[in-house]
Amino acid sequence: MLQLATSRPSVAPDAGRCADCEVRASAICGSLDAIGLEELGRMGRKVHLRPGQTLLWEGDESVLVGNVLEGMLKLSTVTGDGREQIVGIVFPSDFIGRPFGKDSHHSVTALTEARVCVFRRGAFDGFADSHAGIEAALLRRTLDELDRARRWMLLLGRMSATERVASLLLEMIDRLGGAPGKPLSLPLSRQQMADLLGLAIETVSRTMTRFEREGLITLPGGRRLVLRDRAGLERIATG
């Protein structure tokens, strides 16, 4: 489990130009025209997070929302016996926070070095109310997240351990821009993968070793992974 940093995230002095944002095309603000982007840009601030730093805490008032610009973050909750349970992962262009809501339903913590463009939730809610494109984009994103949650329910409830690991690897490869033969640094430790998939760490380790032995992936060391046979990994993920 990552130790959560207690220091405040560093905040850039200005939000920069939204028109030049690296995730604009796939983020919710991609529907805005130049005037809307300028208005939204005046509201935003870029926050840099180190691995283990928490941006939002479960149960606290939902004061911030934002777009992930770079890196990966985890969504987590604390179970009744005090254990952390990872309930999701967010990638660049994903939206975090709870617009039009009072409290945060989970903590949002950086898994890697990360940058997030954040907005005060109250100001963002007012902006969304006056820009139909943002409201529509939020609805689409909410429905996408609902579909993703349903897929994970299927994964955890019906898939074998091998299928779960293959599915998670493919999702991380796809969302992080991985390709066959291209080294990729996985943001999750094997323990975190196990927690997310509802498996024992030994099961995750054995499964990844099996994938390497079968020529599907290469594990050069640390958290690095090289995809060798995507079609083979997809066959396993789909049963």
Per-residue confidence (pLDDT) for residue 207, from 0 to 100: 97
Helix 34-43 × helix 121-129 angle, to 10°: 160
In whole angstroms, give the CA distance from residue 186 to residue 89: 12
Predicted structure pTM score: 0.75
pLDDT tens across 127-154, in order?
A: 888 888 888 888 887 777 777 777 766 7
Per-residue confidence (pLDDT) for residue 6, from 0 to 100: 44
* 79 touches 38 (CB < 8 A): no
Q: Which of 104, 97, 139, 150 is CA-nearest to residue 120?
A: 97
* 236 touches 163 (CB < 8 A): yes
Per-residue confidence (pLDDT) for residue 141, from 0 to 100: 77
Burial class (CB in 10 A: 0-12, 13-18, 19+), 62: middle
The per-residue pLDDT string of the chain (239 residues; one tens digit each, 9 = 90 and over) reads 333 344 556 655 444 467 677 777 777 787 788 888 888 888 889 999 999 999 999 989 889 999 999 888 988 888 888 888 788 888 888 888 888 888 888 899 998 899 999 999 999 899 888 888 888 888 887 777 777 777 766 766 678 999 999 999 998 898 888 888 889 988 888 998 898 888 999 999 999 999 999 999 999 988 899 999 999 999 999 87
Per-residue confidence (pLDDT) for residue 169, from 0 to 100: 93
In whole angstroms, give the CA distance from residue 174 to residue 236: 16
Per-residue confidence (pLDDT) for residue 3, from 0 to 100: 37
Per-residue confidence (pLDDT) for residue 9, from 0 to 100: 64
pLDDT tens across 97-107, in order?
A: 888 888 888 89
Q: Which of 109, 102, 112, 2 is CA-nearest to residue 55?
A: 109
Per-residue confidence (pLDDT) for residue 2, from 0 to 100: 36
Half-sphere exposure of 13 (CA within 13 A, CB side): 0
The structural domains of the chain, ordered by start, are 10-148 (2.60.120.10), 159-237 (1.10.10.10)
Helix 201-213 × helix 161-175 angle, to 10°: 70
In whole angstroms, give the CA distance from residue 159 to residue 169: 14
